[in-house]
Amino acid sequence: MISAGIVGGTGYTGVELLRILANHPEVQVDCLTSRGAEGTAVAELFPSLRGQIDLTFAAPEVERLARCDVVFFATPHGVALDMAGALLDAGARVVDLSADFRLPDAALLARWYGLTPVNTELLGRAVYGLPEVNREALRTARLVANPGCYPTVIQLGFLPLLERGWIDPQRLIASAASGASGAGRGAKVDSLYCEVADNFRAYGVAGHRHLPEIETHLARATGHTVGLTFVPHLAPMNRGMHATLFAFLREAVDETELHALYAARYVDEPFVDVLPLGQHPATASVRAANTCRLSVFRPQNGETVVVLGVIDNLVKGAAGQAIQNMNLMFGLPESMGLEALAVMP
């Protein structure tokens, strides 16, 4: 049985890790930390886990966490940077759900997150945790940088076209919307019910932190630089993410060929579902599931390709993908513990 620890277990991604791991047949959560909830039973804070997780939140002590086989960080940016090195030295494996190791360039990390790593060597050791691109590297990884939610759906949407070279890589556009849980569980005015309900708005248009992550890893995966305009939105729902992606063709291909490209690229991917030609994905179809659903269109047979993608931002966009990565790291079936279907309605 794999022993797991979770640092930062009181946020939305932390409780989602607990929910999924509670039913994982090969993993037991042995250590759960939170500075703010130290001494509080999990069931007291999250009644949904009553009878499933019999633990009390503890202080995040490296010595205790180091006894785990794998440690998940569901923490604010900067925490994993400080603790991961000691855990790795002790023999634990680390899956970080924050942005601490997503950018291999320390200058980018400082510019976009204001973080200065003490050990820049760790940035180079981290494997970017998008299994559809880095599956083989993840099998031997000891430190995994779990992708952000927007970067997951946007990269999966653009990858087939970029890999084939059918689109201009310098003219990519992504308009994407996330549910309010993407902003975290902390109390913020912008996340209040009266601010989110019956409202839809863009944010971060001048520059969003996920932009360099998307550009960096699309370039790594495809071998050439990309230019992306990214506009995120806040949608009036708890969870879910919808991305509308635009690209401009350099080849004369029809919609049937585009669909065949996507179907072939993801035919063996357990968590990417390419919908039949002409169907539109909906966020409700992936709620609480570790699934990305995609569809591709060429409106009016013009030069523009439109790709639609949906994920649950807390599952395939965070905790579910982290567990998918953990399964690969420990040689388990990739879908183990992640077979749950989407919740409808």
Q: What is the pLDDT of residues 135-181, one digit of tens each?
A: 999 999 999 999 999 999 999 999 999 999 999 999 999 999 999 98
Closest CA to 113 of 214, 217, 8, 210: 210
Sheet containing strand 172-178, edge to edge, reads 201-202, 228-234, 172-178, 241-248, 304-311, 292-297, 272-274
Average the pLDDT over 118-127 and give the result: 88
Residue 186 has pLDDT above 80, yes or no: no
Q: Could you say which of 80, 110, 125 is where a domain stops?
A: 125
CATH number at 234 reads 3.30.360.10
Residue 246 has pLDDT above 80, yes or no: yes
Residue 67 DSSP one-character state: T
For residues 113 and 163, state if they share a domain. Answer: no
For residues 100 and 192, state if they share a domain. Answer: no
Contact 134, 120 (CB under 8 A): no
Query: Terminal CA-to-CA distance of the chain, rounded, Å?
Result: 35
Average the pLDDT over 5-17 and give the result: 95
For residues 228 and 157, state if they share a domain. Answer: yes
For residues 161 and 224, state if they share a domain. Answer: yes
Residue 143 lies in a domain: no
Residue 192 has pLDDT above 90, yes or no: no
- Residue 119, pLDDT score: 77
Helix axis angle for 131-139 and 320-329, nearest 10°, is 40
- Residue 79, pLDDT score: 94
Contact 9, 74 (CB under 8 A): yes
Residue 208 lies in a domain: yes
Residue 79 lies in a domain: yes
- Residue 118, pLDDT score: 73
Residue 115 lies in a domain: yes
Which residue range forms the structural domain that includes residue 270? 149-313
Contact 244, 175 (CB under 8 A): yes
Q: Do the strands 172-178 and 143-145 form a parallel or antiparallel pair, or are they unpaired? A: unpaired
Closest CA to 320 of 297, 289, 282, 299: 289
Buried residues in 121-133 as b, exposed as e (16+ CB within 10 A)? ebbebbbbbbbbb
Residue 270 lies in a domain: yes
CATH number at 15 reads 3.40.50.720
Distance CA 329, CA 142 (A): 7
- Read off the pLDDT of residues 38-48 as tens digits, 9 standing for 90 and up: 999 999 999 99
Contact 311, 292 (CB under 8 A): yes
Q: Give burial (CB, 10 Å; 0-12/13-18/19+) of 304.
A: middle
Specify which residues 173 forms β-bridges with: 229, 246
- Give me the number of domains the chain comprises: 2
Residue 337 lies in a domain: no
Average the pLDDT over 106-131 and give the result: 91
Contact 203, 234 (CB under 8 A): yes
Closest CA to 162 of 215, 126, 232, 229: 215
Average the pLDDT over 232-249 and give the result: 97
Contacts by 41-45 with C-beta closer than 8 Å and gap 24+? Answer: 42/9, 42/18, 45/10
Residue 133 lies in a domain: no
Q: Which residues are catalytic?
A: 149
| Structure token digits, residue 311 | 């994920």
Q: Average per-residue pLDDT in the chain?
A: 95
For residues 51 and 163, state if they share a domain. Answer: no
Residue 187 has pLDDT above 80, yes or no: no
Beta strands in 114-264 (DSSP E): 127-128, 143-145, 172-178, 201-202, 228-234, 241-248
- Residue 149, pLDDT score: 98
- Across 71-75, 197-201, 316-320, 323-327, least confident range: 197-201
For residues 84 and 163, state if they share a domain. Answer: no
For residues 158 and 289, state if they share a domain. Answer: yes
Residue 224 has pLDDT above 80, yes or no: yes
- Read off the pLDDT of residues 271-306 as tens digits, 9 standing for 90 and up: 999 999 999 999 999 999 999 999 999 999 999 999
Distance CA 334, CA 270 (A): 8
Residue 264 has pLDDT above 80, yes or no: yes
For residues 159 and 100, state if they share a domain. Answer: no
Residue 191 has pLDDT above 90, yes or no: no
- Residue 231, pLDDT score: 98
For residues 59 and 175, state if they share a domain. Answer: no
- Read off the pLDDT of residues 131-141 as tens digits, 9 standing for 90 and up: 999 999 999 99
φ, ψ dihedrals at 81, nearest 5°: -55, -35
Average the pLDDT over 63-80 and give the result: 96
Residue 336 lies in a domain: no
Distance CA 220, CA 124 (A): 13
Average the pLDDT over 202-206 and give the result: 95
For residues 297 and 163, state if they share a domain. Answer: yes
For residues 105 and 11, state if they share a domain. Answer: yes
For residues 199 and 260, state if they share a domain. Answer: yes
Residue 315 has pLDDT above 80, yes or no: yes
Contact 94, 66 (CB under 8 A): no
